[in-house]
Amino acid sequence: MNDERELKSSLRPIPNGSGAAAVLSAGIGVCAVAGFALAADKMPAMQRLMIFYRPTGPLSGVTTSAVVVWLLAWGALEVRWRRREVNLPSVGAAAIVLLILSLLLTFPPLADLL
């Protein structure tokens, strides 16, 4: 009986929600790096606020804040989606847009245009 239950459980595919949560939160995390960097570059008050470790300057706060946002987003999405099937094409598209946006926004000549 137990063997039968284990076999059924091993044949059941894992819902895509957990993977979708990891992918989308990674998109949010990388975009947060660009977002915090841009904010620190444009606003002197934000720049001062982002100095978590003086020798490294605002980069310490920018990256630490982005990592915190990423992990919080991942945890929240994982809790909501882990047992569900979600619309992976839409989630993937959103993550790719965020990823491309972060690559572009971290490039100083483009960030300076904003």
Q: Minimum distance from CB of 29 to another protein (Å)?
A: 4
Contact 105, 35 (CB under 8 A): yes
Pick one of 29, 50, 61, 77: the residue that binds another protein (CB under 8 A).
29
Which residue's structure tokens are 């839409």? Answer: 90
Q: Minimum distance from CB of 45 to another protein (Å)?
A: 19
Q: Does 62 bind another protein (CB under 8 A)?
A: yes
Q: Which residues contact 39 (CB under 8 A, 6 or more apart)?
A: 46
Pick one of 23, 50, 61, 65: the residue that binds another protein (CB under 8 A).
23
Give the largest CA-CA distance in the chain: 66
Q: Does 66 bind another protein (CB under 8 A)?
A: yes
Provide the 3-class DSSP secondary structure of residue 1.
coil
Q: Minimum distance from CB of 24 to another protein (Å)?
A: 9
Strand partners, 53: 57
Distance of alpha carbon 18 from the chain centroid: 14
Which residue's structure tokens are 């009986």? Answer: 1
Residues that bind another protein (CB under 8 A): 13-14, 16, 18-20, 22-23, 25-26, 29-30, 33-34, 37, 53, 55-57, 59-60, 62-63, 66-67, 70, 88-89, 92, 95-96, 99, 102-103, 106-109
